[in-house]
Structure 1
């Protein structure tokens, strides 16, 4: 099962809709369920998708050297891809990750599906909770 916050889910669908007819590929990051203020009624270690990394961050370095500087090391084991013309499953053109979310028009809640690395469909649970607040503390 894949868990995602409502806010991230809706933001990804908006991003896909705005980019249509182009495809969108976004690296996703998770927060452990135990970090949420609300009880999510899942194992505390369960990752909940809460954030995304901007798709164009580090694009020029990646194009020249093949290194992704837009995603911090150890993060981003999930990916969101949009398929404006279908299909509603991963394709060979997609960048695979441990979990991949695929969205197709009409860009509503029923248009997002989750899959594992091998393409097996997983359950997707949209969590009605806000991720923990983060800040950039200065020492």
Structure 2
């Protein structure tokens, strides 16, 4: 889904907030330590845009969430730049839009494992 967004946004850059769920909260065994964060939520940039543009408050991302980010660099490079919005973990895509590279906020590459899993169902308390 993230790579598809990058393709659709090209030649513009894509910048999406991501959040994680601990591996132990998934209904299936992912073969990971239960505390390992698994990126499972996407907060699209259009949500809350009007308030953010006027007041600088991001209503599209719940408080305390979004410690990761997906970025695309349509013209490259395949590394973080000073122009990028950083987070604890950044997933970066560059053409030909086939893979993601993970970085920490200092631009050091991180290992990335893709898991095929359905995140746990969440509901809003009444």
If the length of structure 2 is used for normalisation, what is the TM-score? 0.93
Task: Give yes or no for the alignment of 1:90 onto 2:65.
Answer: no
Partner of 2:113: 125
Partner of 1:19: 9
Aligned-pair CA distance for 1:136: 4.4
Of 102, 122, 125, which aligns to 1:134? 122
After the TM superposition, list the runs of 4 or more consecutive aligned residues in structure 1 that deviate by more than 6 angstroms.
none
- Residue 75 of structure 1 is matched in structure 2 by 65
Larger RCO, structure (CA 8 Å, separation 6 or more): 1
Relative to structure 2, which stretch is displaced further, 61-70 or 40-49?
61-70
Query: Which runs of 5 or more structure 1 residues have no equivalent in the other structure?
Result: 1-10
CA distance in 1, matches of 2:84, 2:51: 20
Q: Distance in 2 between matches of 1:93 and 1:58?
A: 23
Count of residues paired in the alignment: 126
Q: What is the SS of the residue equivalent to 2:103?
A: strand
Q: Which whole-Å deviations, capped at 9, do the CAs of 1:72-119 have from their partners, x for residues lacking one?
A: 0010000000111101111111110000011001111xx310000111
TM-score normalised over the length of structure 1: 0.85
1:8 corresponds in structure 2 to none
| Structure 2: tracts of 5 or more residues without a match | none
Root-mean-square deviation (CA, aligned residues, Å) is: 1.3
Q: Among 10, 31, 42, which residue is 1:41 paired with?
A: 31
